Amino acid sequence: MFETGTMVGLMSEMLRLASSNRVEIPLVEPFLEMLPPPLSDLAVLPLWKPLFAALVVPGFATLGLLLLLLPWIERKLCARIQWRVGPKEIVSWLGGIIQLLADSLRFLFQEVIVNRDARRPYFVQFVLLSFIPALLPILFVAAGTIIAIRTEYSVHMMLALVCLFPVFILGMGWSSGNRFAFVGTVREAFMYFAYEVPLIFSVIAMVLIFGTGDPIKIMETGKLGIVLNPLAAFTFLIATAMATSRLPFEIPEADQELAFGPFIEYSGIAFGLAYVLAYEKLYVLSALFTTLFLGGGSGPAIPPLGELSGALWFLLKTLVVMIVFASLRAIYPRFRIDQALRAGWSSILAISLLAIVISAAEVMLWA
Amino acid sequence: MVAERAKDRNIRIVQHGVFAPLRRWGTRWSLWPVHFVTSCCGVELAHSGACGYDMERLGALNYGIARQSNFIIIEGTITRKMARALRLVYEQMPDPKFVMLIGACGERGGIFWNSYNITLPHEIVPVDFFIPGCPVTPEGLIRGIRAVQEKIEGRGRTTIEFKRAELPKEEGEPRLVPSSPKYLATTPTIRVDIPGEGELPERLKPLAEEEGIRVTVTGKNRVAIRTAAERLEEVAKRLKELGFDHVKSVNIIDVPHERRMIIEYVISSYSVRELMPVLVTLFAYVPRAEPGLRSLKHVWDSADYCERELQDLFGVRFEGNPWQRRFILAPEVEAPLRKDFKLAEESYVLGEAPLAPKIEYPPEPLSYYLPVPDEVFEEATRNDEFILPIGPHHTGSGHLRVILRVKGDIIVDAIPDPGYVHRSMEKLAETKLYVQNIPLFERLSIADPININLGYVRTLELALGVEPPERAKLIRTMLAELSRVGAFLYDAGIFSLFTGHSTGFMYTFSIREMLLEIFVRATGSRCTPSYIIPGGVRWDVSDDVLKFARNFTSAALRRLSKFESIFVNNPVLMERTKGVGVLTKEQAVDTGIVGPFLRASGVEYDVRIVEPYEAYADFDWDVPVADDGDCLARFLLRLEEVRQSLNIVRQAVEALERTRGPVIAEEVLGEFKDAPDIRGIFFRTLGNLVLPRGEFTCLTEAARGTLLFTVLSDGESNVPYRVRVVTPSWMNLRGFMESVKGQRLADFWAIYGSFGYFPPEADR
């Protein structure tokens, strides 16, 4: 049992901590001051930077919004390229922007079937566990200067967690007990080998140049990674397309061939979760791309937004990267697994090695 | 009945519970139809999904997998084989799930009402909404989705009361009713070898002088060779040495009053140029009680699948054919094409009799049989192979099942299991008047309706000796070429979808939409015009339509160039298709593939050149031929063919603008010779058509290759005694399965797309 004094002391200690490291948003300051005393102190708590980063930007809320918007953007964009309209009638005047809300509600209320041949505990667990590698990297994403955990190794941590992804997808495919899921799982494993090494190499190349893995420091250098090392950017983009199963590398899922491969047996909300996995991964990798190659949250500051302006620029850049990936769906057919593997192990690997060489040369030149 | 019990259960699910409003709203706007193309209405479904109609506007995203969708659109006929798949897919889907049925044949059988192989889908799964039409238009389909949405909201009408309309009885001639052939036991009523005009080809002359082989010339370039069943193999081998290298059709005629069957092989040549137009019908009699003979598969590989099919249809045994199991029929139907297997007869009076034949439904999903012997599974396990059954419900298989044996990523063997859309056209044709069969056969391939229509009508004209007038020929040529373009656009769309490129699908279907507009303006129907009739066409086309057609040719070319830039010139597509699924010239001839796919392997055979019909000889056009025989060659060749077709259309339009005249032959009009067209007098002139006795075989170059119609008439009935249809897709199946072997798993879909395999056309 705590004494009251200790509780108050703890509370005030927490508030002190929160206000010492809070997100500065001039726009909301007047509103905070208008609040009565106990509330105005407590209102600081959600603005505590690590919490704000995890819950609002670039964390949970942003992710949720993006997950609802990005598939819609993708469907709408592909529809425009394909001379049609895409989702619309649901709210006609907004162009059907809440289409994904309807889809997710439908998935939420649909029956979840665990098929007879599935390995039941794993089948259910893997789809939930897969949120660990999906959500943890977001703690290391810096939206401008807003970051949950700031270390020298943020970039490394993000990469390491992202590379955990395929393990869970393999588990999902294996536990489904379906022939197509099996083929899809094997393909996923092969693709993993094809893209992982170039992905890591291209990140290493950038970390070499910047000399740090801290996203805020990288941003503060004021250098655009894509100009410093375009080859690394190129390999990173290709590896991202492979890692997130975007066309032309949508090989493990291949809905015309394998009917969504590893996810074939998932239904209802379980599929809803599996369906957004690829988008979450896309978000993390796009954020990493923005951090490393597009200067993170750098951009003209908007004074009333304070620290949020950096976050805004960061999100805009990330969104653009994601839209580029989304539009690939309408442009490319699908490669075959052996072609993707050959590309991954030969040309892309070579280019990523070259990118490291370039980085090393640049570092030596400047040193 | 399962379906009765489950009626409206899913509607109740969405309308109950605390979250009912959210649940209803979410379900309503997220009806994802599972990709379950069951029959020919699937073409219209594709149009509804493509630009122009765009089902996705309503949130209905056409989706591949049963587990993740909540909406089945049953497109027309559900055959006995497909009924099992339908049940299984329905059971696989999570609740709540909805079913919409489009097309007349799903409701009460439609044009196939008396078929032995169709079922009534609403007795298999509960259906939420019906849309009539044959086929339905995309507008109708989208209206149906709207109606299901309203039903989910609880606003739709739950019941519909039908009113019985009393129509005034018109006095006049009694309507014609098809009459069954009379089985007269005296003289042979069915004769295959009735002599006709024409010359015996030089090469066949030595054969004619031999003992025990009777050679009859039955018409121009048509020869019948009769021999004993025991000598069939020997004669076949000699014919092969003479250069007859492939089978165009294998046919059986059941003659119960003579207690025997006639087995005939229609053969021709791809390798010897002067034999190309010659069709030899090699036939023999076998006893009806125990019909069987040596398979000619080892002589002509192309006979293989036809023999397998006839084993099912007639209960005949081809000894030596490797397949001695069910091929296209479900296990519960026995030898339906024999004459003693009676169907309900067509009539025009609603009687007490049930509208559809009695159907036994598969009791439990466990009885979904796989037509593969257990040994295949055992052998595959021994050889460390993996068996992957694809279809009939699969995003990339249409309504065909292929059992792939895969070692690593390489396909070792492909075993086809067709027949999921077998609507028994050949048997149904025997219960319908000759002219009623025109719309029936059109349903073979509503992606390519005019050519099928033309093929059947040309056979009738061949029998009747009627020549259509000049203007009718031009109109037919123009529409046939447009239909060829339409079929290519359909296949190209499916091809791009199978390679994962949905934009290609949308682009081609947008062109197809314009093309269907021409069909609507000229013939009155999008997909099933039934426009060509014996002796001409139904009515003249107006100058407006001609102008529209000419504008279409340039608009189509412009849009095709966009399609090319995004799809055909895509580096990924090149990687995927170049050198994939190669059929060499020898293989192509052996497997008997037809049409553009044959020409892609370097054989210069086109019925339009070999035996020119209609107005093709008057126009200036080329037949493209390629040598590679791979997916890319097959696709690009058809693309080039489309350019040639548009070229022909343009020339035909010019010629049509110059010429004026009747569009129907005088012989057909008879006493109504002053009539401008057939409207109003159709049944009085053509209803009681009776063909002269004999067998008439006619070849037509349909969009996907040579279409063969054999009509056999007993000379006294107003229905055919037997109609044999061999469609291009059916002949291409063998080559398709051959070219898959040794390729990688993902190549299966590229090859599938490149062959333009259309199951309703193949299964008949």
Distance to chain B for A116, nearest Cα, Å: 11
Model confidence, pTM: 0.88
**Inter-axis angle of helices A307-331 and A60-81, nearest 10:** 40
Q: Is the peptide bond before B371 cis (omega within 30 degrees of 0)?
A: no
- Dist. CA B583–CA B491, nearest whole Å: 19
Q: Which of A102, A260, A336 sits opposite B25 (nearest CB)?
A: A102
Using the 3D structure, point to which of B309, B324, B358 is the last residue of a domain. B309
The CATH number of whichever domain residue B632 belongs to comes to 1.10.645.10
CA angle B470, B643, B616 (to 5 degrees): 25
CB A359 within 8 A of CB A208: yes
Work out the mean pLDDT of chain B and round it to a whole number.
83
- Dist. CA B343–CA B467, nearest whole Å: 34
Residues 6+ apart with CB under 8 A from B253: B190, B192, B261, B262, B264, B712, B721, B722
Query: In the prediction, which pLDDT does B661 show?
Result: 84
Which residues in chain B are contacts of A273 at CB distance < 8 A?
none
> Which 8-state DSSP code applies to residue B677?
S
All structural domains of chain A with their residue ranges = 7-46, 60-366
CB B580 within 8 A of CB B750: yes
Query: In the prediction, which pLDDT does B347 show?
Result: 60
C-alpha pair distances (Å), B574 with each of A259, B424, B435, B499, B555: 24, 39, 46, 11, 26
Show the 3-state SS of A293-351: HCCCCCCCCCHHHCHHHHHHHHHHHHHHHHHHHHHHHHHCCCCCHHHHHHHHHCHHHHH
- Note whether A137 contacts B: Cβ–Cβ < 8 A: no
User: Which residue of chain A has the CA closest to B575?
Assistant: A335
Query: In the prediction, which pLDDT does B368 show?
Result: 53
Residue B241 belongs to what domain range?
202-309
Q: Which of B498, B506, B575 sits opposite A335 (nearest CB)?
A: B575
Q: Which of A247, A264, A331 sits opposite B566 (nearest CB)?
A: A331
Which residues in chain B are contacts of A106 at CB distance < 8 A?
26-27, 29-30, 70
**Residue to test with chain A: of B9, B29, B36, B381, most A Cβ within 10 A:** B29
Cα Rg of chain A, angstroms: 22
Which residues in chain A are contacts of B93 at CB distance < 8 A?
267
CA angle B596, B601, B603 (to 5 degrees): 75
Query: In the prediction, which pLDDT does B190 show?
Result: 64
Distance to chain A for B732, nearest Cα, Å: 21
Element (H, E) at B414: strand B410-417
User: Which residue of chain B has the CA closest to A272?
Assistant: B68
- Dist. CA B605–CA B268, nearest whole Å: 11
CB contact under 8 A, A106 and B27: yes
Determine how β-strand B129-131 pairs with β-strand B214-219.
unpaired
Query: In the prediction, which pLDDT does B457 show?
Result: 92
pLDDT digit string, tens, across residues B32-88:
888 777 777 888 888 888 888 888 888 888 877 888 888 888 887 888 888 878 888
pLDDT tier for residue B176 given thresholds of 50, 70 and 90:
low
Query: In the prediction, which pLDDT does B355 show?
Result: 46
Structure tokens at A168: 């869970």
Which residues in chain A are contacts of B54 at CB distance < 8 A?
79, 84-86
The CATH number of whichever domain residue B93 belongs to comes to 3.40.50.12280
- Note whether A6 contacts B: Cβ–Cβ < 8 A: no
Q: Which of B289, B498, B310, B281 is nearest to B419 (CA)?
A: B310
Query: In the prediction, which pLDDT does B485 show?
Result: 92
> In this model, does residue B184 exceed pLDDT 50?
no
Output B601 or B193, whichever has higher pLDDT. Answer: B601
Q: What are phi and psi of B104, to 5 degrees?
A: -70, -35
pLDDT tier for residue B186 given thresholds of 50, 70 and 90:
very low
Query: In the prediction, which pLDDT does A150 show?
Result: 82
Show the 3-state SS of B223-245: EEEECCHHHHHHHHHHHHHHCCC
What mean pLDDT do residues B417-426 have?
86
Query: In the prediction, which pLDDT does B22 show?
Result: 85
Structure tokens at A46: 């959600």
CB B246 within 8 A of CB B269: yes
Element (H, E) at B309: helix B304-314
Using the 3D structure, point to which of B309, B325, B345 is the last residue of a domain. B309
> In this model, does residue B352 exceed pLDDT 50?
no
Which residues in chain B are contacts of A268 at CB distance < 8 A?
94
CB B168 within 8 A of CB B118: no
CB B724 within 8 A of CB B710: yes
CB contact under 8 A, B64 and A260: yes
Q: How many domains does chain B have?
A: 3
The sheet with strand B279-287 has its strands ordered as B214-219, B222-226, B279-287, B260-268, B246-255
Residue B235, domain member (yes or no): yes
Residue B197, domain member (yes or no): no
CB contact under 8 A, A248 and B54: no
**Residue to test with chain B: of A106, A263, A347, most B Cβ within 10 A:** A106
CB contact under 8 A, B57 and A75: no
What mean pLDDT do residues B399-419 have?
86
The residue length of chain A stands at: 367
Interface of A with B in 18-37 (CB under 8 A): none
Q: Which of B500, B504, B570 sits opposite A250 (nearest CB)?
A: B500
The sheet with strand B722-726 has its strands ordered as B694-702, B705-713, B722-726
Query: Half-sphere exposure of residue B51, counting CA atoms within 13 Å on the CB side?
Result: 22
- Dist. CA A70–CA A64, nearest whole Å: 10
> In this model, does residue B395 exceed pLDDT 80?
no
Distance to chain B for A329, nearest Cα, Å: 8
The CATH number of whichever domain residue B208 belongs to comes to 3.30.460.80
Q: Residues B450, B538: one domain? A: yes
Query: In the prediction, which pLDDT does B666 show?
Result: 82
Q: Which residues pair with B722 in a beta bridge?
A: B712
- Dist. CA B495–CA B750, nearest whole Å: 7
Residues 6+ apart with CB under 8 A from B256: B183, B288, B338, B339, B340
What mean pLDDT do residues B568-594 have?
87
Q: Name all contacts of B149-157 with Cβ < 8 Å and 24+ positions apart.
A: B149/B28, B149/B29, B149/B31, B149/B58, B151/B11, B151/B98, B152/B11, B152/B14, B152/B24, B152/B27, B152/B28, B152/B98, B153/B24, B153/B28, B154/B11, B154/B15, B154/B24
CB contact under 8 A, B57 and A88: yes
Give the number of beta-carbon pairs within 8 Å between A and B: 180
Q: Residues B146, B207: one domain? A: no
Q: Which of B142, B489, B503 is nearest to A80 (CA)?
A: B503
Helix, coil or strand: residue B440: helix
What mean pLDDT do residues B211-217 have?
80
Q: Residues B138, B221: one domain? A: no
Lowest mean pLDDT among A177-191, B111-125, B559-573, B615-629: B111-125
Work out the mean pLDDT of chain A and round it to a whole number.
84
**Residue to test with chain A: of B34, B53, B56, B93, most A Cβ within 10 A:** B56
CB B28 within 8 A of CB B149: yes
Helix, coil or strand: residue B676: coil
DSSP A69-117: HHHHHHHHHHHHHTTS--S-GGGGGGTSTTHHHHHHHHHHHSPPP--TT
The rounded Cα A202 to chain-centroid distance in angstroms is 17
Output B13 or B636, whichever has higher pLDDT. Answer: B636
Q: Which of A109, A268, A330 sits opposite B23 (nearest CB)?
A: A109
Q: Which of B67, B497, B746 sits opposite A336 (nearest CB)?
A: B746
Q: Which of B491, B576, B68, B408 is nearest to A247 (CA)?
A: B576
User: Per residue of chain A (367 residues), what is the pLDDT tens digit?
Assistant: 556 677 777 877 777 777 777 777 777 777 777 777 777 677 777 777 778 877 888 888 888 888 888 888 888 888 888 888 888 888 888 888 888 888 888 888 888 888 888 888 888 888 888 888 888 888 888 887 778 788 888 888 888 888 888 888 888 888 888 888 888 888 888 888 888 889 999 998 888 888 888 888 888 887 888 888 888 899 999 998 888 888 788 888 777 777 777 888 888 888 888 888 888 888 888 988 988 888 877 777 777 777 788 888 888 888 899 899 888 888 888 888 888 888 888 899 999 999 999 888 888 887 6
CB contact under 8 A, A99 and B29: yes
Structure tokens at B616: 């093709």
Query: In the prediction, which pLDDT does A51 show?
Result: 80
Q: Residues B598, B726: one domain? A: yes
- Dist. CA B98–CA B114, nearest whole Å: 28
Q: Residues B656, B530: one domain? A: yes
CB contact under 8 A, B576 and A83: no
- Dist. CA B532–CA B77, nearest whole Å: 25
Structure tokens at B114: 């008396």
User: Which residue of chain B has the CA closest to A337?
Assistant: B746
Q: Is the dihedral of CA B51, B72, A87, A56 positive or negative?
A: negative
